[in-house]
Amino acid sequence: MITFGPVSSRRLGKSLGINNISHPKVCSYNCIYCQVGKTIRLTATPETFFEPEIIFNEVKNHLTHLGPENFLDYMTFVANGEPTLDINLGQTIRLLKKLEIPIAIITNGSLLSDKSVRKDVQLADWVSVKVDSPDQHTWNLLNRPYTGLSFDRHIEGILLFASEYKGFLCTETMILKGVNDDTGMFSKLAGIIEKLHPQKAYLSIPTRPPSVQSVEMPDINKVNEVCRIFSEKQIRTEPLIGFEGTDIGYTGNIYDDLLNIIAVHPLREDALRILLYQDKADFSCIESLIRQKIINVVRYNGEKYYIRQYSDQI
């Protein structure tokens, strides 16, 4: 359950996903909009999930099953939790570099105040750091961090990382209606992001089923407003508000392909049907997984999504 895809990413092109955090979901945040469900274990202490050789061998093996049409732009650490909680992250990246494919990490940035975590993340070619909350109150409400974390230390950590990092740095900010979508918030967020000097600041909205049902998309004029405020600070900004598409890499094994991807990425029904077709499978295997309570179907914004179901989900 370590690799999936590649999937079409709006930011990274064709990206092979690496989930270096084992289920159940382990994260230092419990964001109200999280697309992989509630955090089962909230922690800020890095630990061992998989040995680096296991991840390396799984990735190498996965690559042998991909056809030439699945040429990768990136291998991306995107976990069902926070990838920097993996104490072996740096060692794993060093091994993966042998494959000569650029490496990306999508992190919430909460552990970047730790020097050893910064050192590991610096090994990646492309890093996205989450910046949703401009103050402690919003951080507690929206990202719901592990209690031992401090907002000020978190901001110091991402600033320090940004000042040291030599690769492609971007930020990602989720905008939620009634939570962080007023002009004052946008200005404060712009104030933080400007100091990070990212090559790109991405803005997102909750396009997939969120962990907390009351989470709502902001009005489109709010997205325009935040773009304007960021641009006034000379921040190169790009909204990510559309559907990424249905183009997903496949290996011929529908169970592996499906379960690996939906552990970190709910699948819309049209994308799922294409994956079934490519893996030469039919819908009966989906019905069987639903009956076994391994996957679940949820409706969001008029679309059906297939998500991983864990018996220990809280």
Give the residues lining the site for ligand SF4 (CB under 6 A). 27, 29-31, 34, 36, 39, 81-82, 108
Nearer to ligand SF4, 79 or 281 (CB): 79
Nearer to ligand SF4, 31 or 104 (CB): 31
Q: What percent of the chain is helix, strand and coil (3-state, nearest 5)?
A: 35, 20, 45
Nearer to ligand SF4, 59 or 142 (CB): 142
Question: Least distance (Å) from ligand SF4 to the CB of residue 109?
Answer: 9
d(CA 216, CA 196): 28
Question: Least distance (Å) from ligand SF4 to the CB of residue 42?
Answer: 9
Question: Least distance (Å) from ligand SF4 to the CB of residue 158?
Answer: 13
Nearer to ligand SF4, 29 or 165 (CB): 29
Nearer to ligand SF4, 106 or 229 (CB): 106
d(CA 34, CA 24): 14
Question: Least distance (Å) from ligand SF4 to the CB of residue 143?
Answer: 6
Distant-in-sequence, close-in-space partners of 209: CB < 8 Å, separation ≥ 6: 35, 266, 298, 300, 305, 307
Which regions of 39-178 does DSSP assign to beta strands (E)? Answer: 41-42, 74-77, 103-107, 126-130, 168-174
Q: 41 - beta bridge partners?
A: 26
Half-sphere exposure of residue 280: CA atoms within 13 angstroms, side-chain side = 3
Question: Least distance (Å) from ligand SF4 to the CB of residue 195?
Answer: 21
46 vs 95, 103, 116, 308, 309, CA distance in Å?
19, 20, 10, 24, 25
